[in-house]
Chain A
């Protein structure tokens, strides 16, 4: 554990990618097989089954620290991380135990088979014999989630450095359903004939946002355009008579979208499609809003009624594997051509459809299309270079997303709350209101979009202009106007204003705008009528 904690520290303390890659590569080069497997697993979001509930952990931590539970609970949001909060409140101690990462994970799983008293005894001994980062890492093993700036890309770079294998190959090997319990370092990373798991997806290729007009991209004839759908990116895999659906976050979603099971009836094995999962009613011209899809996300089993109310189809826009061959190095135009032939005979009842391309010869024409994207329930336009291969990860140059300008409204800040974690010492969470006659009606919360310097300035101001405190929330003098940008608006009886915004954030601090000139509830309702 000391070795893993040291790796963790080096990565955590460094802001430089090269230093992180070097530390990881060094670890992969020298750590025992089981430990490096678990390290890869942990850094890619695979974790041991939770052995202890977080409720118990919090109780035991407060008890060991000799503080009331409420005080622990108040500290937690300020620190922003449960594992860290526990590590910080416990009595200081030095690490006296040097069992390996895998040994600790094994012990943790053994503990999950025992009763509460034995589990508690195990955890308390761990806290006593582990100090500093080791203690924090141990808590992380239980609470899960090593989000620490080790992207898949960074890990594959380090692995490539340690093993001499190409990054793209490693990226593919690391995708999918592997787990340290069921595979070995040799089988996953080294074996030449690694039997490709039927479910293994390809790493997604991600577009960069296009700032400014597309003229800078060169001649329009070298580019293909399509709607940028507001759904969930998904990869549909058809191999060996089975089908698998993967999200961009590498989550297997096959069971959540049972409609796609029928795709095996329409498409041959050895086919992998990249596309957008959308709620699209059979006879509608455009997909339903993201709101409809949201009802499906997070449901592991889908009731029949919901299946009928919110049917999902895959709008395919790329073909990654065809007749069992990896097509990713072929130019986009070629992949697209086969995809079109493949989709042409599909009946309306098929759960897969071709995502159409937009016709244009000049950039101006495309700009006009973009202006009406909202009518199609699209959130902008995707641009893909005709001769581009399908790359791994976010790469600049061949794929661009040209998003719609967000909707905006000018609103008054009326409540402020301190942030947590990295922003614990600043006021960053604000509630905004619009005018309803002489009254200010709250309608949205936002906590992003300002610079650090702006957050510091507003923090100073909040301290001096607090009218009332409600626990951590401060009501402030209505004075500052902010432009709030958002992606969508819908009616919501749960909110006092009657509307809910999608992804609201502060796009501008309108220091130039007097309080009275902020927008009104009527303006918001107009937007609801148009875009809701």
Chain B
């Protein structure tokens, strides 16, 4: 085994000396490999980008004119002395874990991930490796997600109740990933599904690459707000309760996030309701993913890093915290998720 590791953690991000590239760097670099299109992983200003074919359209939509190359899931390419391949992370459509092999040493940088299939994203693929870089956004045993179908039933019941009471149901969710996942969970029989411009723009990009999304109606200045009986509106959290939203008349608002698991956060941020859905792995998901890699060395990048690392070390892994600028699931309007 090499004396210097294949991947190191630098001020700019995760770095591979053998291939002279960075993974999800937070400062401008010449060559960036990107796990997925969320703002804390895909930043502007890099010389050259490499991402999956499925992740690139959204990245171009968000970052504008970038010098980028696409790669298929499972395809291996050579960069310098490193072999690199991208594998599904199950976080959002197109999101990847990046596998890097140098000499005989295998590293996997998983970016953000979840192990439960959401019906839309390419399902998480466990990869064998020696070194695994993981998030721990929800790395506490209090975070355990219910099955998606269970929460879908809760959301649809709430929507149907709003519709019956003559209220518009506002669902706050991020434009990329969460919004589309929710779309696939909603029951279109209840009423029309309307979308905020930011959500609709991302929908258009994803539809164009062939993602099966139900019909939605983008809200425009011409929309007749009073005519949308029993509608559900999908909007970024920042739009909830805004002047834009108030035009729809009587309404209830709900927020969808893993943080809604905590009653305190729910009461502070949820509006009328909070539903627990996250695109990040829960406690069991994180531990299962780590076990399946067979890796001995675990690097914890963001979330409840200290606690999670201590638990891993007590259970036989060599785990350490590595400071990064990834943000995990945020409750902010401008958040990255």
Tell me whether A15 and B271 are in contact (CB under 8 A): yes
**Also in contact, A75 and B314, with CB within 8 A (given A422-B268, A425-B331):** no
Tell me whether B311 and A92 are in contact (CB under 8 A): no
Enumerate B290-337 residues with CB–CB distance to A below 8 Å.
304, 306-307, 310-311, 314, 321, 323, 325, 327, 330-332
Interface string of B255-274 (1 = CB under 8 A from A): 00001011111111111111
Query: Which residues of chain B are near A80, meaning CB under 8 Å?
Result: 262, 264
Question: Complex formed: what's the CA distance from A466 to B310 in Å?
Answer: 20
A416 → chain B closest CB, angstroms: 14
B206 → chain A closest CB, angstroms: 27
Question: Complex formed: what's the CA distance from A13 to B274 in Å?
Answer: 8
A137 → chain B closest CB, angstroms: 12
Tell me whether B142 and A78 are in contact (CB under 8 A): yes
**Also in contact, A81 and B264, with CB within 8 A (given A425-B331, A463-B325):** yes
Query: Which residues of chain A are near B269, meaning CB under 8 Å?
Result: 422
A522 → chain B closest CB, angstroms: 36
Number of residues in B with C-beta < 8 Å to the partner?
34
Question: Complex formed: what's the CA distance from A374 to B43 in Å?
Answer: 55
Query: Which residues of chain B are near A89, meaning CB under 8 Å?
Result: 141-142
Question: Complex formed: what's the CA distance from A456 to B142 in Å?
Answer: 23
Number of residues in A with C-beta < 8 Å to the partner?
37
Enumerate A52-109 residues with CB–CB distance to B below 8 Å.
65, 67-68, 70-72, 74-75, 78-81, 84-85, 88-89, 92
**Also in contact, A463 and B327, with CB within 8 A (given A12-B263, A92-B144, A424-B265):** yes
The reply to whether the CB of A14 lies closer than 8 angstroms to some CB of chain B is yes
**Also in contact, A74 and B261, with CB within 8 A (given A422-B267, A463-B327):** no
The reply to whether the CB of A248 lies closer than 8 angstroms to some CB of chain B is no
Choice from A13, A79, A81, A463 contacting B272 with Cβ under 8 Å: A13
B9 → chain A closest CB, angstroms: 14
Tell me whether A424 and B262 are in contact (CB under 8 A): yes
Which chain A residue has the least Cβ–Cβ distance from B314? Answer: A68
Which chain B residue has the least Cβ–Cβ distance from A62? Answer: B141
Query: Which residues of chain B are near A469, meaning CB under 8 Å?
Result: 306, 321
Enumerate A87-135 residues with CB–CB distance to B below 8 Å.
88-89, 92
The reply to whether the CB of B140 lies closer than 8 angstroms to some CB of chain A is yes
Interface string of A404-428 (1 = CB under 8 A from B): 0000000000000000111111000
**Also in contact, A13 and B142, with CB within 8 A (given A79-B264, A424-B264):** no
Choice from B259, B273, B310 contacting A13 with Cβ under 8 Å: B273
Tell me whether B271 and A423 are in contact (CB under 8 A): no
Question: Complex formed: what's the CA distance from A421 to B264 in Å?
Answer: 5
Question: Complex formed: what's the CA distance from A443 to B306 in Å?
Answer: 27
**Also in contact, A421 and B262, with CB within 8 A (given A15-B271, A78-B140):** yes
Tell me whether B259 and A425 are in contact (CB under 8 A): yes
The reply to whether the CB of A464 lies closer than 8 angstroms to some CB of chain B is yes
Which of A16, A74, A81 has most chain B Cβ within 10 Å? A74
**Also in contact, A423 and B264, with CB within 8 A (given A13-B273, A466-B323, A471-B306):** yes
The reply to whether the CB of A472 lies closer than 8 angstroms to some CB of chain B is yes
Tell me whether A74 and B332 are in contact (CB under 8 A): no
Query: Which residues of chain B are near A463, meaning CB under 8 Å?
Result: 325, 327
B167 → chain A closest CB, angstroms: 12
B213 → chain A closest CB, angstroms: 29
Which chain B residue has the least Cβ–Cβ distance from A472? Answer: B306
B295 → chain A closest CB, angstroms: 21
| A residues lining the B interface (CB < 8 Å) | 12-16, 65, 67-68, 70-72, 74-75, 78-81, 84-85, 88-89, 92, 149, 420-425, 456, 460, 463-464, 466, 469, 471-472
Jot down 14 A-B pairs with beta carbons below 8 A, ordered by A.
A71-B140, A75-B140, A75-B307, A78-B304, A79-B142, A80-B264, A88-B144, A89-B142, A149-B267, A421-B265, A422-B267, A424-B259, A425-B265, A472-B306
- Closest 6 interchain pairs by CB? A421-B264, A422-B264, A88-B142, A422-B268, A74-B307, A89-B141
| B residues lining the A interface (CB < 8 Å) | 140-144, 146, 259, 261-274, 304, 306-307, 310-311, 314, 321, 323, 325, 327, 330-332
User: Given A78-B262, A79-B264, 15 more contacts at CB 8 Å?
Assistant: A12-B263, A67-B141, A68-B311, A71-B140, A71-B141, A79-B142, A88-B142, A89-B141, A92-B144, A420-B264, A421-B264, A422-B267, A423-B265, A425-B259, A469-B321
